Structure 1
């Protein structure tokens, strides 16, 4: 059995795409997943299964959510080893920063620097970003809500053809902890 985290994009935000976590847990258990639990109300679920891969599990969960709740949701599924690797590879001094200052955007597929070539890093200082393995690290000293760089990074021309969903550093670390049992 492998333990995974499912990252659901854009649920329970601004009164749209309301998805009660208790119902999500029941739905996931009905798919045969074990050890299902959720974290916060913003779309993180941890589960264990011995079948499938990240992409097929994400598709299965997205289909089940659409059938049950009546709306589509983008889903990214990642295992513990990947989540731990993202946390360990952070290019910023995470221990010295507030969680609201550091975010990770998870992508559904690898991204290259070419996708971000039109962004002038100097124009957004002191905000910075770095690419990782299917992830982007964003340092935003004033938080994500006030970040001009985050706005530029989320534009359709940058994210075209990808699922992208961001989490603050506290959630990044918590997902590593919650998925550790299946290692």
Structure 2
């Protein structure tokens, strides 16, 4: 194609289309973000409190955001003032948490390193010790007479009352108490 669309050929001269001249858009009225925060304070506070988990800290961050919005106005009016103010408050909260090292689970010790998180899982030594204790209890349970073992399991494992165990085994409640005491003596 020799000529671009919109161009016309007139008497051997090329006539270019005249570009449209548009008037600049009128500047959008500047949004007073401090006033917006004050007007929508309750809604922003609830939302920030849910995010941070603390009403006082949310209140503190909104106050800091109000101060920050008074210092610096954005060059362009934000499309969503709620989201802008909320983001400013969230950023201030994160800055505050980083500076104070108030991360969840960190101690307020000055020497504590927040980058090191304690592993609360039992180590190999604790696992081996627990297995050894379980094996010892199992051996002791196997050494009990069958009646003693059955009374102990009914009372402690199945959480039956002393009267129910006495009825089930056809003995008195006093005999159930004696049997339990003897069984626990062997296990200790």
TM-score normalised by length of structure 2: 0.16
Highest RCO, 1 vs 2 (Cα 8 Å, sep ≥ 6): 1
Structure with the largest fraction of helix: 2
TM-score normalised by length of structure 1: 0.17
Structure with the largest fraction of strand: 1
